[in-house]
Structure formats: structure tokens, C-alpha cells
């Protein structure tokens, strides 16, 4: 297979592709856990129910079988081995982080199939016939369609770089200039940081809020959309580190619902 780059194909990871690749492919924990937890509570689900969905949403990024960095490493390594192996790992990265992206087209914000899967997963779970795992995964996949709008899981220097005019709201990260054009590797963490594109993050949260079914027979009134928007606009304006934004998410939940929650399985 042909490749972009210079003579040292591993220069972007200091000639150590196994230990130093960093293919991030997700909104960060402030969205996948804390915002999802908040939205579930806003629809009157109990703290334990909200936690189950939010945990499984975030866990997509932390489980070794779906972690985007590990999938990206395997895709990169397979590039030099065989087309079939490369396509296998690229499609797996797409399945969880760049849904329906192809070798020439990126994922689309609010992808209809991702919306349908998330709605169906939540309805099945809330009705007792589905699992929190499937519902959480489907919400993760849906949320990432906004963060990764018009990026593809495949190695493509036309779609995944500044050559694509649809990325004009972002700038490539010079610290990642030697990375291959897989996903948003050349942009580093930037597409995953809600404060850089707060309206995009808010659009994702609003749609997710709209498809979470109301809790039945609970005697609780869901939060109004205006209240949700106000809380999340403040959250998405926070430009701190991922850890600082996680703490802000925890504080948002405590302030609104009077409870403290923390996701335990993430390394900052």
C-alpha cells in the first residue's frame, strides 16, 4: 500500500509506533459520562439508572476492545501488512467512533442510523427488554458523530486534514503534524473538546435529550429544555483540562440534582 509521509514511516511516534501512538477518537469524558448522566437525570431516571447508561457510554473509550487509540494503532500497523487487515481495523474504528465513514467520506453529525440505534436502544432498555450496555454504546456512537463530523476512520489526507474545507472551524495541532491522517489524528484532541465548538456540542446534547424517553409513572417532571441549555452552555464554555472539565461536570450534577458522582475507570 502507498503511504503519505517521509522516509521514516514511524517518525510521528518517535519511531516507536506501539507505545507512542495517540489516535484519539471521541468526545472526552465531560460529555460521554457527565453530560450523559446529567441528561438521563434531567429525564427523571434514578441516579443508578443514569450511572449505568453514562458508564457504558464512557466505557467505549476505556475498554480495550473499543478504545480508539488501540484501534488506531492496529489500523496503522495493518496498513503495512494487508488491505484486508487494514480494512478490518478501520471499519472497527468507524463502528464505534466514526459511524458510516468510508475510505472517501466522513461521518455525519446526527447520522440517521446512529439516531435510530440510540433511540431504539434507550426504548428497549427503559422498557426492560434491552441492556444498559447497548444503550450506552449507542449514545457514545451518536455523540461522536458531532465531534467527528466529516472525519473518517480510514487513512485519507483529503478528508482528515485542513485540505477539507469542512474543518475550517478547527486548526491542525502542530504537535501532531507527523501523525498519519487517520481519524482526526492531525488535529490532536481538538475536535473532542466541547469548548472549542460549543454550539456543536450543545446540538449533540439537545438531540440526545430529545430521544431519551420520559421516565414513566415516576411522579417527576423532566427539566425544561431551557434549563438544560443553560446548564450545558456553562459546561461547554469551560476551557480547562479534561480533568477540570470532569470536575465541572460533577459540580453541575451536584448543583442541579444534589448528588455527587464520579467515573472511576479513566486515566487523565
Per-residue pLDDT of the chain (268 residues; tens, 9 = 90+): 444 434 343 343 444 443 444 444 457 899 999 999 999 999 999 999 999 999 999 999 999 999 998 998 899 999 999 999 999 999 999 999 999 999 999 999 999 999 999 999 999 999 999 999 999 999 999 999 999 999 999 999 999 999 999 999 999 999 988 889 999 999 998 999 999 999 999 999 999 999 999 997 778 899 999 999 999 999 999 999 999 999 999 999 999 999 999 998 777 6
Cell of 79: 496498513
> Residues 183, 93: contact at Cβ < 8 Å?
yes
Strand, helix or coil at 241? coil
> Residues 40, 53: contact at Cβ < 8 Å?
yes
Cα-based distances in Å from 136 to 139, 193, 207? 5, 20, 15
Tell me how far apart the alpha carbons of residues 155 and 148 are, in angstroms, rounded to a whole number.
Answer: 14
Tell me how far apart the alpha carbons of residues 122 and 128 are, in angstroms, rounded to a whole number.
Answer: 10
Q: E strands within 15-130?
A: none
Cell of 65: 476492545
Q: What is the pLDDT of residues 28-83, one digit of tens each?
A: 899 999 999 999 999 999 999 999 999 999 999 999 999 998 998 899 999 999 99
Which of 267, 265, 264, 246 minimizes the C-alpha distance to 38? 246
H/E run at residue 95: helix 83-97
pTM for the structure as a whole: 0.90
Please give the backbone phi and psi of residue 196, each rounded to the nearest 5 degrees, phi first.
-75, -25
Tell me how far apart the alpha carbons of residues 117 and 31 are, in angstroms, rounded to a whole number.
Answer: 19
Please give the backbone phi and psi of residue 2, each rounded to the nearest 5 degrees, phi first.
-85, 155
First to last CA, the chain: 35
Provide Rg for the chain, Cα atoms: 18
Which of 188, 128, 180, 125 minimizes the C-alpha distance to 155? 180
> Residues 247, 77: contact at Cβ < 8 Å?
no
Tell me how far apart the alpha carbons of residues 201 and 62 are, in angstroms, rounded to a whole number.
Answer: 21
> Residues 35, 28: contact at Cβ < 8 Å?
no
> Residues 14, 229: contact at Cβ < 8 Å?
no
Tell me how far apart the alpha carbons of residues 23 and 71 are, in angstroms, rounded to a whole number.
Answer: 8
Amino acid at each position: 500500500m502507498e503511504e503519505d509521509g517521509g522516509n521514516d514511516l514511524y517518525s510521528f511516534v518517535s519511531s516507536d509506533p506501539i507505545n507512542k501512538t495517540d489516535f484519539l477518537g471521541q468526545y472526552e469524558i465531560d460529555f460521554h459520562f457527565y453530560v450523559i448522566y446529567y441528561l438521563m437525570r434531567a429525564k427523571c431516571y434514578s441516579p443508578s439508572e443514569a450511572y449505568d447508561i453514562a458508564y457504558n457510554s464512557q466505557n467505549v473509550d476505556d475498554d480495550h476492545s473499543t478504545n480508539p487509540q488501540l484501534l488506531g494503532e492496529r489500523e496503522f500497523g495493518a496498513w503495512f501488512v494487508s488491505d484486508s487487515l487494514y480494512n478490518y481495523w478501520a471499519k472497527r474504528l468507524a463502528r464505534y467512533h466514526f459511524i458510516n465513514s468510508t475510505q472517501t467520506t466522513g461521518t455525519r453529525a446526527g447520522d440517521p442510523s446512529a439516531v435510530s440505534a440510540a433511540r431504539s436502544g434507550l426504548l428497549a432498555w427503559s422498557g426492560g427488554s434491552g441492556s444498559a450496555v447497548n444503550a450506552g454504546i449507542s449514545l457514545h456512537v451518536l455523540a461522536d458523530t458531532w465531534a467527528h463530523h466529516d472525519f473518517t476512520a480510514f487513512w485519507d489526507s483529503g478528508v482528515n486534514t485542513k485540505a477539507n474545507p469542512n474543518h475550517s472551524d478547527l486548526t491542525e495541532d502542530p504537535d501532531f503534524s507527523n501523525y498519519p491522517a487517520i481519524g482526526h489524528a492531525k488535529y490532536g484532541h481538538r475536535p473532542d473538546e466541547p469548548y472549542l465548538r460549543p454550539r456543536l456540542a450543545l446540538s449533540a446534547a439537545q438531540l440526545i435529550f430529545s430521544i431519551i424517553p420520559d421516565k414513566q409513572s415516576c411522579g417527576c417532571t423532566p427539566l425544561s429544555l431551557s434549563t438544560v441549555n443553560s446548564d450545558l452552555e456553562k459546561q461547554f464554555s469551560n476551557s480547562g483540562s479534561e480533568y477540570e472539565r470532569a470536575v465541572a461536570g460533577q459540580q453541575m450534577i451536584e448543583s442541579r440534582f444534589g448528588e455527587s458522582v464520579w467515573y472511576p475507570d479513566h486515566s487523565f
